[in-house]
Amino acid sequence: MTPLPPKDTPTRIPGRRTAGWEVVALGLAVVWPFVASPYGAGLVTEVFIFAIAAMSLDLLMGYGGLVSFGHAAFFGAGAYATVLLTMKLGWSAWAGLGAGLAVSGLVAGVIGYLCVRMAGVAFFMLTLAFAQLLFSAAMKWRWLTGGSDGIGGMARPSLLGLPLADSRTMYFVGLVAFVLSLMALRRVINSPFGHALVGLRENEARMRALGYPASRVKLAAFVIAGVFAGLGGGLYAIYNGFVSPDALTFGLSGTFLLMVVLGGAGSLMGPAIGAGIFLLMKQFVSAHTDHWLLIVGLIFIACVMFFRGGVHGLIERLRTGGRA
Amino acid sequence: MSEATPLLRLEHVNKAFGSLVVTRDVSLDLAAGQRHVIIGPNGAGKTSLINQIGGQLQPDSGRILLDGRDVTRLPPEARAQRGLARTFQKNTLFQRLSTFENVRLGVQARFGSIFDLASRALGRDDINDRAQDILARLRLNHLADKRVSSLSYGDQRQLEVAVALAGDPRILLLDEPTSGLSPAETGQLVDLVRTLPAELGVLMIEHDMEVVFSLADRVTVLYYGEVLASGLPDDVAGNERVREVYLGASI
């Protein structure tokens, strides 16, 4: 009898446990704000925030096979809820953020309920349409959202007596949120639910014949992904002290998709790396040329055509000597 | 279950695609322990019938009952949760997952909690043991760690049955399990069906007459969606109309 579970069973469910290089990366991340300028710390803070949203999209895309073109809807919902509750109702930013998670989960539940029964093109057109709907609402309801100007002037709160106005504190809030999100999403992926999600990606007809309620599993994945995207959005609002319809644009949904594909779908850590590469390129390449998106586009095409596993797949292949 | 309530009952089931009638007034019963084989020429509506029982296809009229309960409008997953399992004529497996995971998913569907988000799927020994047990029973355990896409067609065909058995069903629908198998592999599959739990009700589509008559305790002949004859294998084989339209002079 073979021991269970087989160690290298090709279940296509990577990210089972913490890899050595991840521990090294975490160590570097802890040191970074002490060696970098506040500007450098802020840049990586943004990476953490976008990484949370990219990983949440990866749960849908990489594991569920649900390519959503409207992921900004959940990010934006979290961001708007956080700012609105703080600025209009006078809640603390943390209460606003907490409620923002519920709001983005609810938005994901409603959108998911209407989308998960669709397949293929209908599915992604519908996710795109709902995100556009929220974008239009944010533009039109000026009395509430400030329209295209957005709402600003939100001061960064304090946590345990430490003001987030300090770039290092803000950085560590982002880092902790990122690490906790990664651990939570990994746990979901390794759970019976996560395995069911992968099964649906691989063969929905068989899963249903086995007794899995396909639509309900996908809907639950939507809500989980929505909550984490909302966490990213809420933190982004706190980081900027500001929210505008930019947080709901199709462009942002596309950016999340790019991060996932660039880093490697179905690996969680890959899309986080993708978020880092994207934001750093935006920062540094755009300083030299206006055509930086063209370069990102070319890399994207290369990833789709030649490196299906993205950057993460490349790392894994190097680590395992080409067998992965 | 009482003697009077069959595991599975079809009452006057009809299905048409436009003007093409695939199921015409089909009624049949399947009792626990029965080995009921459906035969019929190509296009007789055998797979369409299995799909209606499994829930992949909705009948236009008529009723399908599991343990006397109407499941006609229930989706496949709800029927599976009531103990109905099926295989597919064309392999319908998780090609990129391991053989073990294929069976494990089947076990998890009925013995695990699908919406458990916190525990480790591979940490449930009861589920792992069941999956391992089924692989051993079907002599597939040496392939447990292999990716399904790397398995031979014959092994995949066996795995189809293993995955269906994983949820410990009471009713098993087998859609041409021997299709595409070599004579030796066919023999293995016949042995496998013979060793299925005695109380399991099996409804099976089969083309190979040797297989049919070696396994069946009841045979139903479908012809253009209609039941032409149904009964004990010898009676069906001796039926004049069956001989005319289907078996010809070969028996």
pLDDT tens digits along A71-100:
999 999 999 999 999 988 989 889 999 999
Give tens-digit pLDDT for B185-222: 999 999 999 999 999 999 999 988 889 999 999 999 99
**Domains recognised in chain B with CATH numbers:** 16-83+169-251 (3.40.50.300), 93-167 (no CATH)
CA angle, residues A227, A229, A230, in degrees to nearest 5: 60
pTM of the model: 0.91
Average pLDDT over residues B225-230: 92
From A4, A196, A213, residue closest to B132, measured CB to CB: A4
CA–CA dist B179, B175 (Å, integer): 9
In chain A, the residue whose alpha carbon lies closest to the alpha carbon of B82 is: A211
Task: Give yes or no for B187 touching A (CB within 8 A).
Answer: no
- Cα dihedral A173, A179, A180, A183, rounded to 10, equals 180
If contacts are CB pairs under 8 Å, which of residues 150-179 in chain B contact chain A? 163, 166-167
Report the residue count for chain A.
324
Q: Do A202 and B97 touch (CB under 8 A)?
A: yes
- Hey, which residues does B20 pair with through a beta bridge? B17
Q: Do A4 and B122 touch (CB under 8 A)?
A: yes
Helix (H) or strand (E) holding B164: helix B153-165
In chain B, the residue whose alpha carbon lies closest to the alpha carbon of A13 is: B97
From chain B, pick out residues whose CB is under 8 angstroms from the CB of A207.
105, 109
In chain B, the residue whose alpha carbon lies closest to the alpha carbon of A9 is: B145
Give tens-digit pLDDT for A304-319: 787 778 888 888 778 7
Cα dihedral A97, A99, A105, A108 sign: negative
In chain B, the residue whose alpha carbon lies closest to the alpha carbon of A192 is: B121
**Nearest-CA distance B148 → chain A (Å):** 9
In chain B, the residue whose alpha carbon lies closest to the alpha carbon of A10 is: B98
Which residue type does A191 have? S
Q: Do A196 and B105 touch (CB under 8 A)?
A: yes
Which residue type does B156 have? Q
**Nearest-CA distance A101 → chain B (Å):** 18
Three-state secondary structure readout of chain A = CCCCCCCCCCCCCCCCCCCHHHHHHHHHHHHHHHHCCHHHHHHHHHHHHHHHHHHHHHHHHHHCCCCCCCCHHHHHHHHHHHHHHHHCCCCCHHHHHHHHHHHHHHHHHHHHHHHCCCCHHHHHHHHHHHHHHHHHHHHHCHHHHCHHHCECCCCCCEECCEECCCHHHHHHHHHHHHHHHHHHHHHHHHCHHHHHHHHHHHCHHHHHHHCCCHHHHHHHHHHHHHHHHHHHHHHHHHHHCCECHHHHCHHHHHHHHHHHHHHCCCCCHHHHHHHHHHHHHHHHHHHHCCCHHHHHHHHHHHHHHCCCCHHHHHHHHHHCCCCC
Average pLDDT over residues B226-246: 87
Give the model's pLDDT for residue A148: 83
Q: Do A206 and B54 touch (CB under 8 A)?
A: no
In chain A, the residue whose alpha carbon lies closest to the alpha carbon of B97 is: A11
Interface mutation target, options A13, A16, A210, A216, chain B, most CBs of B under 10 Å: A210
Average pLDDT over residues A132-149: 88
From chain A, pick out residues whose CB is under 8 angstroms from the CB of B148.
none
Interface mutation target, options A4, A13, A200, A227, chain B, most CBs of B under 10 Å: A4
CA–CA dist B80, B146 (Å, integer): 27
From chain A, pick out residues whose CB is under 8 angstroms from the CB of B104.
195
Q: Do B97 and A10 touch (CB under 8 A)?
A: yes
**Nearest-CA distance A103 → chain B (Å):** 21
Residue predicted with more confidence, B200 or B246: B200
Contact B148, B99 (CB under 8 A): yes
Tokens (6 digits) for B178: 């021997």
The ipTM assigned to this model is 0.93
At B247, the pLDDT band (50, 70, 90 cuts) reads low
Select from B149, B140, B207 the least CA-distant residue to B175.
Answer: B207
Tokens (6 digits) for B175: 């859609």
Contact B65, B83 (CB under 8 A): no
Tokens (6 digits) for B65: 């009952």
Task: Give yes or no for A210 touching B (CB within 8 A).
Answer: yes
Task: Give yes or no for A3 touching B (CB within 8 A).
Answer: no
Neighbouring C-beta atoms of residue A281, cutoff 10 Å: 16
Size of interface A-B (CB pairs under 8 A): 133
**Nearest-CA distance A277 → chain B (Å):** 29
Give the model's pLDDT for residue A3: 35
Residue predicted with more confidence, B247 or B138: B138
Three-state secondary structure readout of B119-161 = CCHHHCHHHHHHHHHHHHHCCCHHHCCCEHHHCCHHHHHHHHH
Task: Give yes or no for A117 touching B (CB within 8 A).
Answer: no
Q: Do B122 and A5 touch (CB under 8 A)?
A: yes
- Conformational region of residue A224, where left means phi above 0, alpha means psi within -120 to 50, and beta covers everything else: alpha
Q: Do A193 and B106 touch (CB under 8 A)?
A: no
Between A36-40, B91-95, B128-132, the lowest mean confidence (pLDDT) is in A36-40
Helices and strands (H, E) in chain B, number of each type: 9, 10
Give the model's pLDDT for residue A153: 82
Q: Which residue has the tokens 């990983």?
A: A55
Judge residue A271's burial from the number of C-beta atoms within 10 Å of its C-beta, 0-12 exposed, 13-18 middle, 19 or more buried. buried
Give tens-digit pLDDT for B29-46: 999 999 999 999 888 899
Q: Do B114 and A196 touch (CB under 8 A)?
A: yes
Task: Give yes or no for A148 touching B (CB within 8 A).
Answer: no
- How far, rounded to the nearest angstrom, does the alpha carbon of residue A78 sit from its chain's CA centroid? 12
Q: Do B116 and A205 touch (CB under 8 A)?
A: no
Give the model's pLDDT for residue B4: 65
At A1, the pLDDT band (50, 70, 90 cuts) reads very low
CA atoms within 13 A on the CB side of A305: 6
CA–CA dist B88, B78 (Å, integer): 18
